[in-house]
Amino acid sequence: MTAPAHAAPVEGNVSARPLTSSVKDEVTDKEEGKKRPLVATFKDGKPWITVMGLGGAGSNAVNNMIASQLEGVEFVVANTDCQALGRSLAPSKITLGKDITKGLGAGSKPELGKRSAEQQKTEIEQMLKGSNMLFITGGMGGGTCTGAAPVVASVARELNILTVGVVSTPFRSEGPNRTRLANAGVKELAKYVDTLIVVPNQNLLALADKSTTMLDAFRYADDVLLEGVKGVTDLIVRPGLINLDFADIKTILSNAGRAIMGSGVSSEEARARKAAEQALVNPLLGDLPTESAHGLLVTIRGGEDMTLFEVDEIMEIIRNRVHDEANIIFGTCYDQSLDGSVYVSIIVSGIQTDVISPPIRGAHVPLQERTDRGELGTKAKPDEVGKPAEGLFSRFFSL
C-alpha cells in the first residue's frame, strides 16, 4: 500500500496492448499446493483489467458496464449465438464454436458450450494475453456460460491472470435440471478462478413485487458486476490519499475461493458510520461473515470534504467485526460526484461454503417499497453516470 499516490484514470478501450514493464510474484495454487508464478504486465504503469461476458446474460452485464462509462477496463464478449453477439456494445467479440453451433447457440447444452470454447481456445488466449486481472461473467444453467466459463478460466490460469468469476444461478421456476446444470457449472468454475462470485436470481423474488419488471430486476443483478469491478478499479486508477497497488489486490483475491461483498453510501448526519454499517449487512444474505474471513479489501470513496476522522471511524467499525488473524487492506479515493457523501465497499474473502443459492434471511420487502423509501437506486441520468445510487444492488451483493 502506498500513500500518497496520484494516478490518472485510464481512458477508453485499447485494442493493442503495448507492455512497458512486468513484475513477478508467486501465489500458492489451491489445487496443486505448489507455487505458481503470477505475472503482472503493466501498460503505462497501470494493471490491465479485462471483463469477459459469456452468453446472453454475460453480454447484458457488459452492456450495462459500458453504458455506465467505467474507466480502466477492456470489455470482451463471447457467445455461440451470432445474433446475440451482434447486439453487444463490446468492442471485442468472439464467436464460439463456429463449426459446432453454426452461430445458432448452444441449446442449453453445456457440453456444446465447452466444446465451442475449446475450439476457440487460441483466440481466447490471444484476447487475454497482457491482462493482469480478468472478470468472467454470465448466467449458469444454460449452454454457453456453463460450459465455456471453466474453459476461459483455465486459459486465464495458464496465463497467470488473477481471475474473478461473477455468475448467476437460475430461478427455481426454471426447473431442477437447469439448477443441476448451474450447480455443476459453478463447482467446475470454482476449480480455476481465484475468487468466485455467485448471484442467485431466486433471491430477487424476495425483493420484488407484482409491478417489478424483468428489465428492472435483471438491471439490479447486472449492477453486481458493475459495482464489484468499480470497487477494484477505483482503488487503482483514481487519485487518493491511500492508494493500493496491484499487489494489494492480489493479496486478498488470489486463491480466495468464495467471498461476499457489501457496500453502503450515505450523505446523512453520521454518514461514515451509516455507510460502514450498511456495507456490513447484505439484505439478500444477511450479515457479512467477517468473523471467519481470511481477508478483507475495503474501498472508501468520497469527495474532497471526506475527513481523516471519517476514514478512521469506518475502519474501526469494520475492525471490530473481524478476528485478529484476518488480513485487512484498505484504500481511499476521491470522487467528485460524491461530494457530501461517503461510500464504503468491502470484499470479504476466504468464506468456506458449499452453498450455491443460500436462503434469504429476513422479511420480504418489495422492490417498489424499497424504492419509495429511498433504499433502491434508479437508472442514472447521463450526467450522473458513475455516481453510485444509494440502493439495493449498488449497495449490497454476494460474491
Question: What does the pLDDT look like over 178-204, one tens digit per residue?
Answer: 999 999 999 999 999 999 988 888 888
Query: HEC string of 351-362?
Result: ECCCCCCCCCCC
pLDDT in tens, 233-287: 888 777 677 878 889 999 999 999 988 778 899 999 999 999 999 988 865 555 5
pLDDT in tens, 6-46: 333 333 333 333 333 333 444 444 444 444 444 445 556 67
Q: Which of 7-11, 117-121, 133-137, 155-159 has the lowest mean pLDDT?
A: 7-11
**In CATH, 46-193 is 3.90.1150.10:** no
Give CA–CA dist 111/134, Å, rounded. Answer: 23
| CB contact set of 27 (below 8 Å; sequence gap of 6+) | 35, 36, 38, 250, 254, 255
Which ranges in the chain belong to alpha helices (H)? 55-67, 82-86, 110-119, 121-128, 144-158, 176-189, 214-237, 246-253, 271-279, 308-319, 367-372, 392-395
| One-letter amino acid of 242 | I
pLDDT in tens, 146-180: 999 999 999 999 999 999 998 999 999 999 999 99
Beta bridge partners of 38: 25
Please give the pLDDT value at position 104: 94
Bigger pLDDT: 162 vs 387: 162
Asked if residues 343 and 238 have their Cβ atoms less than 8 Å apart, the reply is no
Q: What is the average pLDDT score of the chain?
A: 79
| One-letter amino acid of 182 | A
Please give the pLDDT value at position 353: 62
- Domain range summary for the chain, segments of one domain joined by +: 46-193, 259-398
Beta bridge partners of 169: 200
Please give the pLDDT value at position 8: 34
pLDDT in tens, 73-110: 999 999 999 999 999 999 999 999 999 999 999 999 99
Other beta carbons within 10 angstroms of residue 109's beta carbon come to: 18
CATH architecture, domain 259-398: 2-Layer Sandwich (3.30)
Give CA–CA dist 358/208, Å, rounded. Answer: 18
In this structure, what C-alpha cell is assigned to residue 176? 431442477
